[in-house]
Amino acid sequence: MKKKFCIKTILLLTFCMLLQIPFNYLGKTAKASSSPILLWTKAYGGEEGDDFESLIQTEDGGCVILGHTGSNTGDFKGLRKGYYTDAFIMKIDKYGSIKWKSLFGGNKEDFFYSITKDNYNNYIVAGSSYSSDGDLKGLNKGMEDAVLVKYSNSGNIIWKKIIGGSNYDFFTSVAVLQDGNYIAVGQTSSTDKDLSNLNIQRSDALIVKLSQNGDILWKKTFCGDIYEIFYSVCPTSDGGFIAVGSSNSDTYDMSGIKDCYYNQSYDAIIVKYDKDGNIEWKKLLAGNNNETFKYVISTKDGYVAIGETKSSNEDFEGLSKGDTDGFIAKFDNNGNLIWNKTFGGSNYDCFNGLNTDNDGYIVFGRSYSNDKDMYSLSKGKSTAIMLKYDDEGNLIWKKSFGGSDGNCFNHGYFYNGEYTAVGFSTSRDKDMSGISIGFGDAVLTKYGDSISNIKLTGLKLNISNTTLRKGQKINLKASTLPVNIINKQIIWSTSNSKVAKVDSTGCVTAISKGTAIIYAYMPGYKYKVYCKVTVK
């Protein structure tokens, strides 16, 4: 059942969501599960590859999700903008039903990576585009352009802003600042057009502040002599912001903080800016190999960031699990490292997204390992993972999702006692059995304490009437509405076991000529469905 919040709590919750500051430290009323169970899963898309990149929770218990699609069937039938990948945004209710959807793109590839919500319930989306027609007609600046799109609460485009030069430029993350304006970060390798008069070396991290109308207020780079990128940005309570990413430079903005002994490797960087875009401090996590920060959030006493690392010394001394590991790190308000933890096995493991629940941090990612931290959790080629850490960096619980092929969680959130995780899967078995739509599906999963929190409205069978020959078998499947509950208990029975019998899994066997009714119901619910079986 839903919790009832007082007006004060609702206002506090809304304020914290708008600032993108975890509200668990201000006091929540919903109870987080100690170790949630998988409640239900839904797949979205068509015949080709589809992926959910990020999402934001809405006040009605649903969410707005963005991603990219290569499909022109199923959920995206008739919506494609061109032959290549299109970006999309869609509103989904608390039961996984699509309320509205919109594709964005043109004749080439287009992507959305990040979403935030402003003070007026509009959505600001960040990404990139290679297109020069369709939604990008007359807007293309070069090879790849950085894209910001503002959508209304009903999914209509309010404005779109394309920023770029002759080379490659893209946004990876966007946030709403304390003053109501927007900050977007990413990377640029252009030196002309919109990116002229900036201190750009090879490929530099890009920071752009825009007004609520999409006007550029200022733009800056974080640069070195080789390569810099920001993957995530979040606002801070003083009106400034934190940006995280990676660098393998030791000059310009990286001067004085890079260990030159490992100057060919990438280091994870975290940079604090004031409201005017001036650097207040900059820190890195480094080792003998590559690491990068992928996501950052602000807490009451500092910052928490996640990413991936391949190092085994310096900041990761004694922490390496194998190949590439996911890692989570906490910093104080001055950028000093408080703790650093890794997760993984012998193969590639990474963290992609980060959020909070009542008393900890929820991490979303992907693992190719089947040992060490992933022992008994691996589902197949790659496994989607969701983990919980407490404020001291202790691993509280870990969940895995997927099938025999590829699976990944990119992001998620906690709300009203339930965890939502989104990503993609190319599997057709195990957790994706009977759910898969096409070559690769965008996937939404819901975890919680119990299915009793879900208000079911009905039960349905995959077959309502069938004719069998003596000895023939058929498998009946019962699905709950409005969402199909995982691991539900279904009781099966037959009206005439001499004609047709049914086992505990819904497998029906024809015995002799005649007619029988096969019934299915869930204990504790009034819904009962049946299938008429005629044996000839």
* Segment 144-190, tens digit of pLDDT: 999 999 999 999 999 999 999 999 999 999 999 999 999 999 999 99
Q: Is the pLDDT of residue 288 over 90?
A: yes
Q: Is the pLDDT of residue 342 over 90?
A: yes
Cα Rg, the chain, nearest whole Å? 25
The 10s digit of each residue's pLDDT in 488-501 is 899 999 999 999 99
Domain boundaries defined on the chain = 458-535
Judge contact between 120 and 158, C-beta under 8 A: no
- CA-CA distance, 15 to 23, in Å (whole number)? 9
The predicted model gives 343-357 an average pLDDT of 98
Please choose, from the candidates 12, 26, 19, 23, the residue with its C-alpha nearest in 3D space to the C-alpha of residue 179.
Answer: 19
The 10s digit of each residue's pLDDT in 200-235 is 788 999 999 999 999 999 999 999 989 999 999 999
Residues 6+ apart with CB under 8 A from 250: 224, 225, 258, 260, 263
Between 313 and 449, name the one with better pLDDT.
313
CATH of domain 458-535: 2.60.40.1080
* Confidence at residue 330, expressed as pLDDT on a 0 to 100 scale: 99
* Confidence at residue 514, expressed as pLDDT on a 0 to 100 scale: 97
> 260: burial class by Cβ within 10 Å (0-12, 13-18, 19+)?
exposed
* Confidence at residue 140, expressed as pLDDT on a 0 to 100 scale: 94
In 10 A of CB 83, how many CB atoms? 11
Q: Is the pLDDT of residue 114 over 60?
A: yes
Q: Which residue has the tokens 């990008």?
A: 136
The 10s digit of each residue's pLDDT in 368-394 is 999 999 999 999 999 999 999 999 999
Single-letter amino acid, residue 201? Q
> What is the Cα 31 distance to its own chain's centre?
22
* Confidence at residue 370, expressed as pLDDT on a 0 to 100 scale: 98
Judge contact between 48 and 69, C-beta under 8 A: yes
* Confidence at residue 452, expressed as pLDDT on a 0 to 100 scale: 67
Least confidently predicted of 162-166, 255-259, 344-348, 426-430: 255-259
- CA-CA distance, 309 to 350, in Å (whole number)? 8
Q: Which residue has the tokens 């009605």?
A: 60
Q: Cis peptide leading into 482, omega within 30 of 0?
A: yes
Which helix (H) or strand (E) element contains residue 12?
helix 7-19
Q: Is the pLDDT of residue 12 over 90?
A: no
Averaged confidence pLDDT in the chain: 92
- CA-CA distance, 396 to 414, in Å (whole number)? 15
- CA-CA distance, 286 to 268, in Å (whole number)? 7
398-430 burial, b at 16+ Cβ within 10 Å, e below that, comes to bbbbbbebbbbbbbbbbbbbbbbbbbbbbbeeb
pTM: 0.88
* Confidence at residue 115, expressed as pLDDT on a 0 to 100 scale: 99
> 464: burial class by Cβ within 10 Å (0-12, 13-18, 19+)?
exposed
With a pLDDT cut of 70, the percent of the chain lying above it is: 92
With a pLDDT cut of 90, the percent of the chain lying above it is: 83
> 438: burial class by Cβ within 10 Å (0-12, 13-18, 19+)?
buried
- CA-CA distance, 253 to 224, in Å (whole number)? 6
- CA-CA distance, 424 to 406, in Å (whole number)? 8
* Alpha helix stretches (DSSP H) within 165-261: none
18 pLDDT band, cuts 50/70/90, is very low
79 pLDDT band, cuts 50/70/90, is very high
* Confidence at residue 262, expressed as pLDDT on a 0 to 100 scale: 60
Q: Is the pLDDT of residue 14 over 70?
A: no
Least confidently predicted of 79-93, 423-437, 448-462: 448-462
Looking at residue 193, the DSSP 8-state letter turns out to be G
486 pLDDT band, cuts 50/70/90, is confident
- CA-CA distance, 204 to 465, in Å (whole number)? 63
Looking at residue 5, the DSSP 8-state letter turns out to be P
The 10s digit of each residue's pLDDT in 293-305 is 999 999 999 999 9
Least confidently predicted of 50-59, 74-83, 444-453, 524-533: 444-453
